[in-house]
């Protein structure tokens, strides 16, 4: 006899060779929170800790085949979507997740890296809005992504609550807008549902430039939903986890800091050195 499997989470994401963001970050986060991640690679990138040099979307037929083969075999408890890389991939993934309406779906609308390198074009952005937002349990944009995703090309500003309300109107069950890119002294993250603000959490703004904080947060939410938590509770615990991973971040190269998703597994002397 075998032991029962841990909660299984399917990830659609791009590869980041630094393992700071993307697919690799998702796997680390899911593992750290007691899940097993299964991965469909949607894009490859060439990057280091200082920036993204190239992005190549995987052919949409290959994306669909990777997912269909896996889903025919394995029962999953949550799906997490990160960088999809092309309008064709958004359409292919939207068609696949439509066949699993009861599985919680976390959509992280990755449009650019934290440093601002563009990762998705306008066509794919529109497809994300029209095909994936309506199916999502929770969408996790930062404030920049929330505005780009919710507002038309002829509008350049609106309160974040209005952006969230449009995404809810498009069919998302919950929207979590993160405040890392705002100028507020604290980071304010707000969870919205159709009847208004569900929760607002404030975090001490940590110094430094981090790579992969959004991926960590969205994956942590997926892991906690797969573990059976309600959305609001999953969002609270995922923020706590992400903040701890950011506080323990390290700098493997010359550029940005990478959150330590396994902060709890390191020796106590790491804390003393900081
Ligand atoms: O942080 C967003 C992100 C997601 N996925 C991939 C990335 C990045 C940022 O660089 O490279 C593959």
**Do residues 8 and 75 lie in contact, with contact meaning Cβ atoms separated by under 8 Å?**
yes
At residue 201's C-alpha, the angle toward residues 198 and 202, to 5°, is: 155
The answer for residues whose C-beta is within 8 angstroms of residue 92's C-beta and 6 or more apart is: 60, 61, 63, 64
Task: Tell me the best of 16, 85, 180, 219 to mutate to test the pocket of ligand 1, counting ligand atoms within 8 Å of each CB and taking the most.
Answer: 16
Please report the atom of ligand 1 found closest to the CA of residue 47: 11
Please tell me the distance between residue 18's alpha carbon and the centre of ligand 1 in angstroms. Answer: 10
Take atom 11 of ligand 1 and give the residue whose Cα is closest.
16
Please tell me the distance between residue 85's alpha carbon and the centre of ligand 1 in angstroms. Answer: 10
| The two structure tokens encoding residue 146 | 């929330």
Take atom 5 of ligand 1 and give the residue whose Cα is closest.
22
State if residue 84 touches ligand 1 by the CB under 6 angstroms criterion.
Answer: no
**Do residues 209 and 257 lie in contact, with contact meaning Cβ atoms separated by under 8 Å?**
yes
State if residue 215 touches ligand 1 by the CB under 6 angstroms criterion.
Answer: yes
pLDDT of residue 117 exceeding 80: yes
Please report the atom of ligand 1 found closest to the CA of residue 213: 1
pLDDT of residue 189 exceeding 70: yes
Among candidate residues 217, 213, 184, the one with its CA nearest the CA of residue 114: 213
Please report the atom of ligand 1 found closest to the CA of residue 114: 1
Least confident of 78-87, 180-189, 196-205: 180-189
Counted residue by residue, the chain has a size of 274
pLDDT of residue 260 exceeding 90: yes
CA distance 213 to 187: 13
pLDDT, tens digit (0-9, with 9 covering 90-100), for 123-179: 999 999 999 999 999 999 999 999 999 997 778 788 999 999 999 999 999 999 999
Residue 98 backbone class (left: φ over 0; alpha: ψ -120 to 50; beta: rest): alpha
Please tell me the distance between residue 24's alpha carbon and the centre of ligand 1 in angstroms. Answer: 10
Print the SS3 string covering the chain: CCCCCCCEEEEEEEECCCCCCHHHHHHHHHHHCCCEEEEEEEEEEEEECCEEEEEEECCHHHHHHHHHHHHCCCCCCEEEECCCCCHHHHHHHHHHHCCCCCCCEEECCCCECCCCCECCCHHHHHHHHHHHHHHCCEECCEHHHHHHHHCCCCCCCCCHHHHHHHHHHCCCCEEEEECCCCCCCEEEEEEEECCEEEEEEEEECCCCCECCHHHHHHHHHHHHHHCCCCHHHHHHHHHHHHHHHHHCCECCCCCCEECCCCHHHCCCHHHHHC
**Mean per-residue pLDDT for 219-235?**
98
Please tell me the distance between residue 4's alpha carbon and the centre of ligand 1 in angstroms. Answer: 32
At residue 219's C-alpha, the angle toward residues 258 and 165, to 5°, is: 110
Please tell me the distance between residue 271's alpha carbon and the centre of ligand 1 in angstroms. Answer: 28
State if residue 83 touches ligand 1 by the CB under 6 angstroms criterion.
Answer: yes
Q: Domain locations in the chain?
A: 8-273
CA distance 246 to 10: 24
pLDDT, tens digit (0-9, with 9 covering 90-100), for 19-49: 999 999 999 999 999 999 999 999 999 999 9
pTM for the complete prediction?
0.96
pLDDT of residue 269 exceeding 90: no
> What is the homologous superfamily of the domain 8-273 according to CATH?
Ribokinase (3.40.1190.20)
Positive/negative CA dihedral, 264, 269, 270, 272: positive
Count of beta carbons in the 10 Å neighbourhood of residue 176: 30
User: What pairs with residue 106 in β-bridges?
Assistant: 80, 138
State if residue 216 touches ligand 1 by the CB under 6 angstroms criterion.
Answer: no
Please tell me the distance between residue 45's alpha carbon and the centre of ligand 1 in angstroms. Answer: 8
Take atom 2 of ligand 1 and give the residue whose Cα is closest.
113
Task: Tell me the best of 22, 85, 89 to mutate to test the pocket of ligand 1, counting ligand atoms within 8 Å of each CB and taking the most.
Answer: 22
């Amino acid at each position: 006899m075998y032991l029962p499997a841990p909660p299984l989470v399917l990830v659609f994401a791009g590869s980041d060779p630094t393992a700071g963001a993307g697919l690799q970050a998702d796997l680390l986060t899911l593992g750290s929170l007691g899940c097993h991640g299964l991965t469909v690679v949607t894009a490859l990138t060439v990057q280091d800790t200082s920036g993204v040099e190239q992005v190549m979307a995987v052919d949409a037929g290959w994306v669909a085949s990777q997912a269909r083969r896996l889903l025919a075999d394995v029962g999953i408890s949550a799906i997490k979507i990160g960088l999809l890389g092309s309008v064709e991939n958004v359409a292919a993934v939207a068609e696949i997740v439509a066949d699993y309406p009861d599985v919680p779906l976390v959509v992280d609308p990755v449009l650019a890296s934290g440093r601002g390198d563009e990762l998705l074009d306008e066509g794919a952005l529109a497809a994300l809005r029209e095909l994936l937002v309506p199916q999502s349990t929770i969408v996790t944009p930062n404030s920049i992504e929330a505005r780009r995703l919710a507002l038309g090309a002829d509008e350049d500003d609106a309160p974040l609550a209005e952006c969230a309300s449009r995404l809810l109107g498009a069919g998302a069950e919950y929207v979590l807008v993160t405040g890392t890119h705002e100028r507020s002294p604290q980071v304010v993250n707000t969870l919205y549902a159709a009847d208004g603000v569900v929760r607002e959490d404030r975090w001490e703004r940590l110094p430094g430039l981090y790579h992969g904080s959004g991926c960590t947060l969205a994956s942590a939410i997926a892991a906690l939903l797969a573990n059976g938590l309600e959305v609001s509770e999953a969002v609270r615990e995922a923020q706590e986890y992400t903040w701890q991973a950011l506080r323990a971040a390290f700098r493997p190269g010359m550029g940005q800091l990478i959150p330590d998703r396994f902060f709890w597994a390191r020796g106590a002397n790491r804390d003393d050195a900081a």
